[in-house]
Amino acid sequence: AQKVTQAQTEISVVEKEDVTLDCVYETRDTTYYLFWYKQPPSGELVFLIRRNSFDEQNEISGRYSWNFQKSTSSFNFTITASQVVDSAVYFCALSGPNLFGNEKLTFGTGTRLTIIP
Amino acid sequence: DSGVTQTPKHLITATGQRVTLRCSPRSGDLSVYWYQQSLDQGLQFLIQYYNGEERAKGNILERFSAQQFPDLHSELNLSSLELGDSALYFCASSSRLAGVKETQYFGPGTRLLVL
């Protein structure tokens, strides 16, 4: 069975500080996919990134960066120079191999991030 | 804007009633997924349809059913509603190209309140 753990329930930081959101996953699949989604106060789920299990390169997109470490089954998300607009709930999710009927997302419980002005 | 639309945005109803939630996927997407977000269970996968056919089932109650129509929009039917069914219901869609893992893009959700 697949499992995603986001141990940090809530994090508060002062604006412009860096913050890292942790994600640890469990799966028996050798091929899998990891995702991060953002849920702002308005409620929608916004896709941020997708990472394949066979690609361990870290990725940077503006102030966002992601650190994928297969050895520790972690896919952590860092926001640099945080801004108030980053305040949201962030979800890490896991999906299995690209097989029909196996595309569902397993979500973590989310981390509520509050950026204090 | 993800391109996935859901109606209605909000729904208030009473226990025992039946409601229908509607989802229109992004243009060209063949797969539709339904998820439920509740305080108790978090975000949980309910069911997936691909080009009109049921493809995968998650923790969906027998009181709930879904379908995908020829124009690819989908409906989630919730019947004999209970207080515990109050939740945010999301629809997501993705295309499916052979050998390519696609991303699921989510609609804005339908917030259901059962009184």
User: For residue range A94-109, what is the model confidence (pLDDT) as tens digits?
Assistant: 998 877 667 899 999 9
Q: Does position A7 have pLDDT exceeding 80, yes or no?
A: yes
DSSP for residue B50: E
Nearest beta carbon to residue B45 from set A44, A104, A109: A104
Q: Quote the CA–CA distance of A2 and B91 in Å, as a whole number.
A: 21
Q: What is the pLDDT of residue A96?
A: 86
Nearest beta carbon to residue B33 from set A35, A43, A104: A104
Q: Note whether B79 and B68 are within 8 A (CB).
A: no
Q: What is the pLDDT of residue B96?
A: 64
Q: Quote the CA–CA distance of A39 and B1 in Å, as a whole number.
A: 13
B70 half-sphere exposure, CB direction, 13 A CA radius: 0
Q: Does position A28 have pLDDT exceeding 70, yes or no?
A: yes
Beta-carbon separation of B45 and A95 below 8 A: no
Beta-carbon separation of A103 and B104 below 8 A: yes
- Chain A nearest-CA residue for B109: A44
At B101, the pLDDT band (50, 70, 90 cuts) reads low
Sign of the C-alpha dihedral computed for residues B40, A14, B106 and A103 taken in this order: negative
Q: How far is B80 from chain A (nearest CA, A)?
A: 26
Q: Does position B98 have pLDDT exceeding 70, yes or no?
A: no
Q: Quote the CA–CA distance of B49 and B67 in Å, as a whole number.
A: 7
Q: Quote the CA–CA distance of B69 and B47 in Å, as a whole number.
A: 15
H/E run at residue A2: none
Average pLDDT over residues A84-100: 91
Q: Quote the CA–CA distance of B78 and A106 in Å, as a whole number.
A: 22
Q: What is the pLDDT of residue A81?
A: 97
Q: Note whether B21 and B113 are within 8 A (CB).
A: no
Q: Does position B99 have pLDDT exceeding 90, yes or no?
A: no
Q: What is the pLDDT of residue B88?
A: 98
At B100, the pLDDT band (50, 70, 90 cuts) reads low
Nearest beta carbon to residue A104 from set B2, B48, B103: B48
At A113, the pLDDT band (50, 70, 90 cuts) reads very high
